Structure 1
Amino acid sequence: MTLKEAYEYGFCSLTQADIEDARTDAFLLLEYICHVTKADFFMEPDKEMSLSEEKTYIEGIKKRCEHVPLQHITHEQEFMGYSFYVDEHVLIPRMETEELVLEVLNQSKDGMRVLDLCTGSGCIGIALKLQKPSLQVACSDISKQALVVAQRNAKALGAEVTLVESNLLENISGEFDIIVSNPPYIPTADIEELMTEVKVHEPFSALDGGEDGFEFYRQIISLSPRTLAEEGMLFLEIGYDQGDTIRDIMSFNGFCDVVVKKDLQQLDRIAIGKLMKSER
């Protein structure tokens, strides 16, 4: 099978399976398995694949036709310019979350202590450490499997972060200047409406925000004052329609100067608040 034949097979198969971006996924899988660039492909479309490459490509296309996320086939996702390992135990890093990282980078100072709560793959905390090495970063998650993934990414990317197994702030010791989190925030009933790639193949525990989607926000926001240093800051990724409620919950729990920022699509995406001195 040539590169061109493989691509055409992949594109047609994915199209018939109603996979969005069939053209892109067919090529990305080819690129991953055969280590070819677009330039290589267009210069040598008739280059023969090895039998091993052909078999692996066909198997990968079949998995993608079953709506297995491409990232679970290649086990990689780019985030903030870094390649992160991902599997079925962690949420696949989203581009929108990069905006949360950028907000923390913009408002943090050298040497600050940062806690990445519900870290999953570790993408937020690790990216922060790599972008601003002076930060003291801890990454926590309730899932042992997720922490294995985070540890793998920290080692591969050379990020010196502390990993902690904890149910939210239960096992967290010490004070932090910043807590940042992208917790589960999808209402339970809404999960069934998500794409198959998400609702079937990504961890339910990383999606389910309880009946109204605010279960973890209420806990994180109410518990954070015990862990934040004086005038510490809380950064949260939020759903597109959750800004007003999050602002109210943060204000009720002693956070001031609460700001809800929109993403590039002009949807609520990030909530930021500073702890009042009297609330510690």
Structure 2
Amino acid sequence: MSTYKELFKAARKFLEENGIADAHVDAWYLLAHVFGIKRADFFIGGDNETSKDKELVYMELIKKRAMHTPLQYITGEQEFMGLVFEVDENVLIPRQDTEILVEEVLKVCKGKSVLDLCTGSGCIIISLAKLSELKKAVGIDISENALQVARRNAKKLSVDVRFLKSDLFENIEGKYDIIVSNPPYIKTGDLKSLMPEVKDYEPSLALDAGLDGLIYYRRIINDLPRYINTGGYVFFEIGYDQAEDVKNMLHEAGFSKIYIKKDYSGLDRVVWGLYGSCNDETVQMEE
């Protein structure tokens, strides 16, 4: 049997040899996942011998990571907005940039009805329901497998969110105060250039957005006036080069105030607008 330090060192080296960029970090996360230890335990008792059975499990998971299987699909979870969500190959892995979208919605959603299109793991609508007081919370997705993951997350996090299978607005009735979406927005031609962890493992249904990456924004925005209340808000996560296109589509659809929010890297990441405002002023926020 190996000690914890010996096992960790061997795992890190194996990941490095197989081109895993964050080999040190991933080797540690999997060690903590399998053995249930914290860093203090590792530094104090790193020279202790490990369990042979768990050592075998750990190295099997390291081999999966070496094949570029996303770490989150191996551990089955990802933290988002301070909450832990179940994830598997049926849903996109929640990302830090999407927290910016949630943070913007939280500023205006208290006491409002919220519809989340392309909900995936449910991380957006569940976070909103957990961190604010919503009048109504609904998440939709075209994938029943994704919805099963979302429902388990809602149950685990004790929030009242209704999940429906729907191709965007197909099975939606009534109007909402807020509509939020992180839809597919990768150009078909760009899919091959994505990291192996993304292109080979995350669901293509949640990534591919046609030749120009805008097909889902067009579909959603075209139908928005029928499903959003006057004075309501729409929020989109976008690709770094899509802000102007989405802003123009929203303006043509009757959204009079449109804001653009940048991510932590200074790239355009969120577009949101107010429906049926009293003037035609379009504002771009540089943050």
Asked whether the two chains share a fold, i.e. TM above 0.5, the reply is: yes
Return the alpha-carbon distance in structure 2 between the equivalents of residues 163 and 106 of structure 1: 23
Q: Displacement, 1:51? A: 2.0
Secondary structure class of the residue paired with 1:114: strand
Q: Distance in 2 between matches of 1:127 and 1:238?
A: 19
Partner residue in 2 for 1:148:
148
Q: Give the CA deviation at 1:169.
A: 0.6
1:220 partnered with 2:223? no
Contact 2:114–2:134 (CA under 8 A) maintained in structure 1: no
1:139 partnered with 2:139:
yes
> Which whole-Å CA distance do the structure 2 matches of 1:244 and 1:173 have between them?
30
Instruction: Give the alignment of 1:99-114 within 5 angstroms.
Output: 99-108=100-109, 110-114=110-114
Write out aligned runs for 1:83-94 (5 A).
83-94=84-95
Offset of 1:277 from its aligned partner? 6.5
What are the superposed Cα offsets for residues 14-60 of structure 1, whole Å, 9 maximum, x if unpaired?
00000011000000000011011111100000122212211110100
**TM-score, structure 1 as length reference:** 0.97
Which ranges of 4 or more aligned residues in structure 1 deviate by more than 4 Å? none
Cα root mean square deviation, aligned? 1.1
The reply to whether residue 242 of structure 1 matches residue 239 of structure 2 is no
Cα deviation 1:214-255 (Å, max 9, x = unaligned): 000000111111111122110000011111111111111111
Structure 2 Cα separation of the partners of residues 102 and 52 of structure 1 = 43
Deviation at 1:133, TM superposition (A): 3.0
8 Å contact kept, 2:256–2:277:
no
One-letter identity of the residue aligned with 2:138: A
- The alpha-carbon deviation at position 122 of structure 1 amounts to 0.2
Q: Deviations over 1:139-191 (max 9, x none)?
A: 11000000000001001111110111100011011210000000000000001
- Letter of the 2:91 partner, please give it: V
Q: Distance in 1 between matches of 2:277 and 2:257?
A: 13
Aligned to 1:207: 207
Q: What secondary structure sits across from 2:107 in the alignment?
A: helix
Paired with 1:215 and 1:134, the residues of 2 have a C-alpha distance of 29
Q: Cα distance 1:135–1:51, how it changes in 2: closer, same or farther (>3 A)?
A: farther
The equivalent of 1:39 in structure 2 is 40
| Residue 127 of structure 2: aligned partner | 127
Structure 2: runs of 5 or more not aligned:
279-287
Across the two proteins, how many residue pairs are aligned to each other? 277
> Equivalent residues in 2 for 1:51-130 (5 A)?
51-108=52-109, 110-130=110-130
Shift of 1:256: 1.2
Q: Deviations over 1:97-139 (max 9, x none)?
A: 001000000122x321000110000000000000013442101
Check whether the contact 1:80–1:98 (CA below 8 A) recurs between aligned residues: yes
User: One-letter code of the match for 1:17?
Assistant: N
Q: Give the secondary structure class of the aligned counterpart of 1:48.
A: coil
